Structure 1
Amino acid sequence: MGDAENTRQNILEISADEIHKHGFTATSLSVILNRCCISKGALYHHFSSKLELGYAVFEEIFAPMILESWEPAVSTEDPIEGLCQHFIDICNEMECDEMVCGCPLNNLCEEMANVDEGFRLRILSMQTKLNSLIASALEDYQAHLQSGISYKQVAYFIVATFHGATSLSKSSRNKELFEQVVNQLCIYLRSLKA
């Protein structure tokens, strides 16, 4: 990676951290410039606006990170148990700042989906990819599941419940509430088995 590519990647990573902690609107370009130790001109060499930077953070940092975090769970021999283990691992590994900051996808969805069409479309595309990832894994496992299940609807329910749990945890600053919701989600998932 050349110097320009390293600078761009550093801007993306620091911006992702700031957006996750403070939200897109409250994220300050001056803070990003200070943390990156670059000039405004260097930032605008890579991104023409804060909005373009936000899109790049979503597409290049948040979306791949989220998809990659779910992929091992649904790639197991038993995706139901893989998902439950994924949720347990999140509970065990969740630190206080993660509980307070919440999920980057969920945060941007709540903050920007009704404000900016570009963010809304990017969020929708990422949610569709995540839903397809889960639905495909369940469909591949269908021989072990009850008949008549709509895999797409179950996948949306899983993601909606998970994001609801992260929102509750964030607003209440209560990790136990997150654990209780995902435990109930696992009970539901296991009830799908034949």
Structure 2
Amino acid sequence: MLKPRQADLTRHQLLQSAMHEIHQHGFQGASLSRILDNTGLTKGALYHHFPNKLALGYAVVDELLAMYMQSVWLEPLASGDDPLHAIEQAITTTWTEHGRELLRLGCPINNLSQEMSPLDEGFRIRIDSLYAAWQQALEQGLRRGRQAGHLRSNLDIPQTAIFIMAAIEGCFGLAKNRQSESAMQVCSAGLYAYLQSLRAE
């Protein structure tokens, strides 16, 4: 019988390895054998925590990708009254810290959305909840910015939030497809110009 702390550590190792494997190969191409090889754990340990590959994939979304969304996009928007600066800083920080990986592999959330949403309702619902949380954080930040007088008073908050999300994911997707940092730079510059156009005159 696994001790609680050992069990938690084993589960965490499996999730981390699974997230890396899914980011590299997609969920459908992910190999349980490679996931185990990267951890040194046994099939018994895997099935003690996750009854099948689908359950493991769901846990990656519910736990690790939710944490990724929280740290990268939600927390920067949670305080302050200048959401445009927070968005720009989040993009810059993400690219500085993870640019090489994002350029090669793309955004892990967007990858799964494109791959699995048409195929599995469980994935679609989980990923949609991540995007919904991001949209809500953006809307709250934009409202604070408008109330503080930083943004145009006639701004359509929900429409703007969705467009910003789509633009960010589109920039990462284009850079990945072209394997081009310059594509990311050009796309980001266009996005930043759009954000500045939202400011109150």
Q: TM-score range by the shorter chain?
A: over 0.9
Per the alignment, residue 39 of structure 2 pairs with: 36
- The superposition leaves residues 119-166 of structure 1 with CA deviations (integer Å, 9 ceiling, x where unpaired) of 000011110000000110110111321122121111111110000111
Q: Is 2:128 aligned against 1:104? A: no
1:29 offset after TM fit, Å?
Answer: 0.2
* Letter matched to residue 116 of structure 1: D
Match of 1:115 among 101, 119, 128: 119
1:71 offset after TM fit, Å?
Answer: 2.8
When the two chains are superposed, the root-mean-square deviation of aligned CA atoms in Å is: 1.4
1:169·1:175 contact (CA, 8 Å) conserved in 2? yes
Residue 9 to residue 93, structure 1, CA distance change in 2 (3 Å): closer
* TM-score, normalised via structure 1 length: 0.95
- The superposition leaves residues 104-126 of structure 1 with CA deviations (integer Å, 9 ceiling, x where unpaired) of 10000010000000000001111
Please give the alpha-carbon distance, in whole angstroms, between the structure 1 residues aligned to 2:196 and 2:178. 28
* Letter matched to residue 86 of structure 2: G
Per the alignment, residue 192 of structure 1 pairs with: 198
Q: Which consecutive aligned stretches of 4+ in structure 1 deviate over 4 angstroms post-superposition?
A: none
1:97 offset after TM fit, Å?
Answer: 3.0
Match of 1:152 among 135, 140, 158: 158
* Letter matched to residue 117 of structure 2: A
Match of 1:9 among 9, 12, 15: 12
Match of 2:132 among 121, 128, 153: 128
Question: Which runs of no fewer than 5 residues in structure 1 stay unpaired?
Answer: none
* TM-score, normalised via structure 2 length: 0.91
Please give the alpha-carbon distance, in whole angstroms, between the structure 2 residues aligned to 1:7 and 1:135. 38
Q: Is 2:96 aligned against 1:92? A: yes
After TM superposition, the structure 1 stretch with the greater mean CA deviation from structure 2, 94-103 or 108-117, is 94-103
Residues matched between the structures, number:
194
Residue aligned with 2:15, SS: helix
Q: Is 2:181 aligned against 1:168? A: no
